[in-house]
Structure 1
Amino acid sequence: MTRPTQPICWTFLLLGCCWLVAAPPAEAQQQGYNRGDRVEVNRGDDWSPGTVTGYRGSRITVLLDDDGSHGDISADMLEKRLTRSYFSSDLRPLRSEPAAAANSPTRSPPAMRPAAPPSAQSPFDLAESTAESRTWKDQSGRFSIEASYGGMNGDKVVLQKVDGSTIEVPLDKLSDADQDFVNSQSEASENPFAVAPSTRPAMGGNSSQQLRVGDRSDAKRIVPQSFTEWTFVPEGAPPAKVAARSKPVSLGSIPDSDPFFEDVMSCDLSASGDRAIVARKQGSVGRDEAVYLEYINLTSGKSLGLCPLPPKNEVLSVDAETGRVVYGEVEFGRGATELTIGELNGNQLTPLVTWEPYGAAQREHERRIENAWFIGDGLVMTLGSHNNALTLWDATTAKAIAELPVSMSFGDDDVTISPDSRYLALKTDKSIAIIDLDTQEHVASISTGEISAIFLDTIAFRADNQMMAIGFHQGILIVNLQTGKIEQVFDHSTHFPHSSLVWAGNLLLHRNAYVYDWQRKILLWELEGLRSHTTKSSLKNGLLCVVPKNHDGPPVLRTLELPSPAMIAMQEKLGAPEDLIVASAGDRVSLKLDIDERVISAETVRQAVTANLEEAGYVVGDGSDLVVTAVCKKLPSQTIKINMGPDRFRARPEDIVERTITPHPSSLTLTYRGKKIWGHGNMGKPGMTIWMDENESVDQALQRLTTPNGLVD
């Protein structure tokens, strides 16, 4: 398979959202379709009746009639399933009203209801109570409930029931004893349940406002820059560490779900470390899998209950600090066209605004979104699936602030946002580009030397933005962002490409299990029981929040201080990094050869390796704990089949070519008392992919890959 060599063009945009009153588009007016009109919709082989409810750009929104096939679901879910957008060419006036619909009032479409506007106060500004549950009674004494006190929301008392759900009861409806209890709580000198006014940008609007199509017309275009020297000065400071929450929290049981097939989609931790939001997918086979959100109060160690997303919707981004969630409807694995920002309050998700970032595009696939990210207050970044755009939006106006063009092959794993949302890093063909999200400018490019961007996978900013870690197929690059230089190439046997990589202070956490001390070039710690590609985690301000998959029941959320005091003590015990050096100039090194004389003489290899070691300052001699082993073998010739077609998984006979190769695997390794500490080259066999250089033919690549790898250079 040929490696892509075309340069990557990149673009990014900021988008905002709001509800605005809009007149019907001219196209819709010309076709004579108004709100309330009865129409028929072309759905392939047949026409389905429905009612025009509004307009979305050049398309018309239709609420299809309920044919009774959706089963017993709520009116809200039914409304969501039946609402679709069409071009006017897909509609025609209703020719005749179906008899069943005319005679049965139960078949009338449910009333359209806009997303509810947010309250003036943020539910996340209401701290959850850590008080024990007590019995509450009404004025008559006939009704009671077990719940804990959660503070006041205006003139209503917030009560958290034992099942995690939250209710609000007017104070004057409670018994006199309960009112006295509430008043005593309110009179405390420091009321932890007081509601503070929200400082976040408002979203939503009144019921007359329409779905907004994203406006990209005034977006600032971020232009790639060329840099002759490193001038970038990263801004950022080490965050304050938050206290660890040691109490594990059992998550709720998803209804009608098999835990074995459940997936933990994401886990997001607030910067304050007192709350987390977990997204999980229902475990089922042969039917749609619902997605559930769950808000966890880490201070009290309680879950506030499960909150289902609308059917077929998936979570794209979560901000546990504000309780906001970006989600959208996904069909058959294709990206959403509309995004909704909602606010999670306990087990209730309130939609704030819905908009189409790329709704102005003419083709449906160009309107689809691959991913979305929260970028600070009121800002959302989206990546289009086929429109070659990374876009930053103002979520309060539905206007794009900036746009960065990207290539068709650009994916959501090619971009990383710094923990403080100040910088954006993305892969280009020859470097890592850094974008300042405050100024929307390309401010630096990190050269990766001979390592092409195609080999890079995970990118991670350190919390203070002074360092960056870049994973690739042979290890981890450590980059100093104050100089733009690669300080170290770290590798360990536990490293696995395309796996999670985050900073924990000045350490690195890989695959949720391995803690690397890159300065000492060691695996410092291993976290047992967390290594799994299904484990989801979030690490902020020295606190790791992790949710491992549990095949036998609901998962358990755990938190861990990272780096932990024990890890810091271990570093101090080990001493300075230079104290761990096992080989340095002046040391004696022994030489061991395993050479096939048909390829090259052992004496030639001995002289070349000895000369290189002595040039580096080592003394070559027998009896040393340090041993350099040189290997060169000639393997039997073999015939291999190569798929030259475009599909690596479905090769056609005409795509297959045969070549005869004679592999010559060779390697150099350095061991200390029998343990490998360095190596170059390998003894591998032909693999699944032939990585080709630019303008190189298959035969040239095979010649390069099967020739001894320059042991005498």
Structure 2
Amino acid sequence: MRTRHLRDFVFVVTLTVCIAAFVSPGVADEPRTWTDSTGKFRVTASLIQVQDDVVFLKTDTGKTLKIPVARLSQADKDFLDAGENPFEMVDAEPSPRVTVPAAPANTGNPSMSAWTHPPVINWDSVPKMDPGFGESQWNYTPPVNNALPFEPKAASLPGKANFFEGMRRLKINPLAARCVAGYTWTFSTPKPLSRLSLVDLPSGKAINSEPVECNMCPLTVLNDGKTVLMQGTGGDRDGFETGDQLQLWTLTGTKVTRSGIWVPFPDDKKAFGKTTNARPIKAVPIANNLLILLSDNGHLACFDLATLNPVWHARLSQNFAVTCTTDRQQMFVLDEHTLMLVDPLTGQAKGSMQLEGKPRLGWTKMQLNESGDQMLISFVNNLRIIDLKTGETLDEYSREGGAPIAPNGLSYPAPDYALLDNHLLLHIPSRITVCDYQDAAVITSVGGTEFVGLLSDGGGLIVPTSIPHPKATEVLRQAVDDPSVFLIHPGVNVAMDAGGVPDKYRAEVEQNLKNAIAKAGYKLTNGAAIKIKAAISGPKNEAVSYIARGAYVAKVYQSTLTIESDGTQAWSRSGGNIPMMLQTKRGQSIQEKLDELGKRPNTSFFETVALPKLLQAPTKSSSGNTQNALLVSKFTLRGLVDSE
């Protein structure tokens, strides 16, 4: 059971922020022997900071000394120029890392020479992702533990270098146990400036780069834990790095060494109405010095970072999403309505399934839970939970109005919870928006842990935490005990309407629906304001695929159940007669099975569907709470501040 919460780090944070105000970030070090330029004077001391070409040192007795840089020995000047990498101290006591049994990862830096003269790629000669042959079934075994294999600590970071600077990205590499925060400011400065903070998560130690004249943000930390893959974030007419351009940054102390520019998809200029080069939107380092890149037009490729040559690739449809298990050994690729399980090293699919109901997709995102056996998928204004072992849809939620439900981010922080758009915590079974988490610069989720990035004039912070925090859990529990909060609750009066079901199936559906209503604890009452409405549409001839090669034709019926109050839909579920995972009898072909299923709709859906036990009633927004959340919690450097 996870017990991390922001309040656990309050005292540590306060202390480290105070230290950061006195010691230049990334410069303080262990004691060493310092020598003047004549060689006559020596002192053992720790470096505090360098300011105006003067070095400040502290002896083991607590005395502070200063000496001009010009009067130091050449060895000490070289030390100041290069800086000591604080991660070397961490590596003396190795932190736990994810074990990748397929092959030992290459932890050396990628060759910079390849980045000076990137190869010209003939994509027609690159092997394509293999979606699998034959009529293979879905075959997914969740990892033993999809959680992080180490306990991350909070990291103190320097405050804003400029009033207009912001923390734009926070990227985690669980294989390296490192994360990187990227900062950029382009306003009120002659030229854009970018910098980064590289953090060792088990120790909480950070090194912070000096500003670099560029417009770039990090895409990921590579598996060596010291090299950052950067992406241009400038406009096409700015004269600085653009989104299709990548670069390697390595830190030596605070100084940045930059590789040449690499454009991984230079020929992908037009897709879905876009006319600029394809821009990487996701980067996932895996074993053997390989990197998975996904572009904004659906070009998915695995690159060898030593040569920048692709190992395999795939061109996905307009609606796509990619996510991996925490150990990076299994990858899920959603290509339109086909969900594939793929070996990221080889591009070989181990199985595929169809999304139930073939919903309209857009703004699609996927997240695994901490156990790795369930997947949360968001698309347009919908949210769906899938059991990855069976392919069953466990629950789904649609928000009224049609606006995207999670266009900027999706997390699966705990069972029954979704974090939408990096700030709204939804309790999925009750549909209650429990908490609106505000004022975080970034929230990133990996392996069931949320990493919160904060930045202010007074300091910065990266905190690993668990969501929901205790106050949110308490407020939800209080709401569950208050029937006035809910539209639906045990004992509520409901009416039944099966007018949308064809006559030949209506009696069967009504009986099944009565059983489901009784199971949910509702009272069936004629004329009740809340209506449970059933409908069946179809059949329609549709193409379906289970192996992502070729298609079959099936007669598809859609069974739909909705809950309405005063003519407004508050809840809906749907199911079809064609399952996501198809089980055939011995000697039976896929087409024969589909023909068998296409003879009638899935009327049993109306009995097996799980009607909500609790469903939040709409309420008017209060001041500062525009999201109808039970609680508003604001992130600060001293912890969470709650206000109902």
| TM-score normalised over the length of structure 2 | 0.55
In structure 2, the partner of 1:669 is 564
In the alignment, is the contact (CA less than 8 A) between 1:258 and 1:284 conserved in 2? no
- For 2:175 and 2:314, locate their aligned partners in 1 and report how far apart those are by CA, in whole Å: 32
Residue of structure 1 equivalent to 2:229? 326
Which residue, out of 423, 435, 440, partners 1:526? 435
What SS does the corresponding residue of 2:389 show, helix, strand or coil? coil
**Residue 327 of structure 2 is aligned with which of 395, 420, 435?**
420
Letter in 1 for 2:460: V
Equivalent residue number for residue 92 of structure 2: 194
Q: Tell me the residue number matched to 1:267.
A: 170
Quote the Cα distance in structure 1 between the aligned partners of 2:219 and 2:115.
Answer: 28
Note the C-alpha offset of 1:610: 8.8
Deviation of 1:609 after TM superposition, in Å, equals 12
**Per-residue deviation, residues 487-510 of structure 1 (Å, max 9, x unmatched):** 111467999332411223534333
Q: CA RMSD in A?
A: 5.9
* Distance in 1, Cα, partners of 2:326 & 2:360: 22
Decide which of 350, 359, 365 is 1:452's aligned counterpart: 359
Q: Which residue of 2 aligns with 1:538?
A: 444
Query: Using the alignment, how far apart are the partners of 1:405 and 1:497 within structure 2?
Result: 24
Could you tell me which of 284, 308, 332 is aligned with 1:398?
308
1:324-365 CA-to-partner distances (Å, cap 9, x unmatched) read: 2223556634855653223234423333565453568999x7
1:303: how far off? Answer: 4.9
- Could you tell me which of 388, 393, 405 is aligned with 1:481? 388
Q: Is the 8 A contact 1:214 1:356 kept in 2?
A: no
Q: Distance in 2 between matches of 1:571 and 1:130?
A: 43
1:376 Cα offset (Å): 1.5
Where does residue 153 of structure 2 map in the other structure? 245
Give the letter aligned to residue 92 of structure 2: A
Is the CA contact (8 Å cut-off) linking 2:173 and 2:220 kept in structure 1? no
The letter for the 2-side match of 1:589 is N
Aligned pairs for 1:428-439 (under 5 A) are 428-439=335-346
- Render the CA deviation track for 1:609-656: whole Å, top value 9, x for unaligned: 9988646454866699x852589xxxxxxxxxxxxxxxxxxxxxxxxx
Deviations 1:278-308 (A, max 9, x none): 1112140596533221224667766533333
Matches within 5 A, 1:27-426: 138=36, 139-141=39-41, 147=47, 194=92, 200-204=107-111, 210-214=117-121, 216=123, 218-224=125-131, 230-238=137-145, 239-240=147-148, 242-243=150-151, 245=153, 249-254=156-161, 257-259=162-164, 262-271=165-174, 275-284=178-187, 288-296=191-199, 303-309=206-212, 311-319=214-222, 322-329=225-232, 332-333=235-236, 335=242, 339-351=246-258, 355-358=262-265, 369-371=279-281, 373-377=283-287, 378-383=289-294, 389-407=299-317, 409=318, 414-426=321-333
Residue 394 of structure 1 and its aligned partner are, at CA, apart by: 0.9
Name whichever of 280-289 and 201-210 sits farther off. Answer: 201-210
Say yes or no: does 1:509 pair with 2:419: yes
- Look up the equivalent residue of 2:383 and give its one-letter code: I
Are residues 584 and 491 of structure 1, via their aligned partners in 2, closer, same or farther at CA, if it must alter by over 3 Å?
same
User: Which whole-Å CA distance do the structure 1 matches of 2:136 and 2:302 have between them?
Assistant: 28
Q: What is the CA deviation profile of residues 88-130 of structure 1, one whole-angstrom value per residue up to 9, with x for unaligned ones? A: xxxxxxxxxxxxxxxxxxxxxxxxxxxxxxxxxxxxxxxx999
Is 1:679 equivalent to 2:585 in the alignment? Answer: no
Cα gap change, 1:475 to 1:133, in 2 (>3 Å): farther
Counterpart for residue 10 of structure 2: none
- Give the aligned residue type for 1:402: W
Read off the aligned partner of 1:306 and give its amino acid letter. Answer: S
Alpha carbons 1:221, 1:403 under 8 Å: kept: yes
Equivalent residue for 2:409, pick from 500, 524, 527? 500
Query: Which amino acid in structure 2 is aligned with residue 469 of structure 1?
Result: L
> 1:472 matched to which residue of 2?
379
Query: Which amino acid in 2 is paired with 1:194?
Result: A
1:448, distance to aligned residue in structure 2 (A): 2.3
One of 526, 530, 546 as aligned partner of 1:628: 530
* Equivalent AA in structure 2 for residue 628 of structure 1: I
- Unmatched tracts of structure 1, length 5 or more: 1-127, 150-156, 175-181, 183-189, 594-599, 601-606, 632-666, 682-713
Contact 2:131 2:351 in 1 (8 A): no
> How many pairs were matched up?
461
* Distance in structure 1 (CA, Å) of the matches to 2:393 and 2:134: 17
Segments of structure 2 that go 5 or more residues without pairing to the other structure are 1-25, 50-56, 77-83, 96-104, 501-506, 534-561, 574-644
Identify if the C-alpha distance between structure 1 residues 269 and 206 changes in structure 2 by more than 3 Å, giving closer, same or farther: closer
Sort the Cα spacing of 1:569 and 1:352 in 2 relative to 1 into closer, same or farther, 3 A: same
**Amino acid in structure 1 at the alignment position of 2:291:** V
Can you list the C-alpha shifts for 1:642-691, whole angstroms capped at 9, x where unaligned? xxxxxxxxxxxxxxxxxxxxxxxxx85269xxxx994359xxxxxxxxxx
SS of alignment partner, residue 479 of structure 1: strand
Indicate the structure (1 or 2) with the bigger Cα radius of gyration.
1
Q: Deviations over 1:182-212 (max 9, x none)?
A: 9xxxxxxx97563989951442267998544
Q: How far 1:479 moved relative to its partner?
A: 0.7
Fraction of identical pairs, as percent: 13
Alignment of structure 1 residues 536-685 onto 2, 5 Å: 536-548=442-454, 550=456, 553=457, 556-563=460-467, 566=470, 589-591=493-495, 614=514, 616-618=516-518, 628-629=530-531, 668-669=563-564, 678-679=570-571
Aligned-partner residue type, residue 174 of structure 2: A
CA pair 431-490 structure 1, distance change in 2 beyond 3 A: same
CA-to-aligned-CA distance 1:141-177 (integer Å, 9 cap, x gap) = 499986269xxxxxxx9x9xx9xxxx9x999967xxx
Shift of 1:428: 2.8
Query: Is residue 197–residue 208 contact of structure 2 (8 Å, CA) maintained in 1?
Result: yes
TM-score by length of 1: 0.50
Aligned CA distance change for structure 1 residues 215 and 204 (closer, same or farther; 3 Å): farther
One-letter amino acid matched to 2:47: A
Counterpart secondary structure, 1:284 = coil
Distance (whole Å) between structure 2 residues aligned to residue 384 and residue 489 of structure 1: 28
Gap change, CA 1:544 and 1:242, over 3 Å in 2: farther
C-alpha change, 1:581 and 1:234, in structure 2 (3 Å) is farther
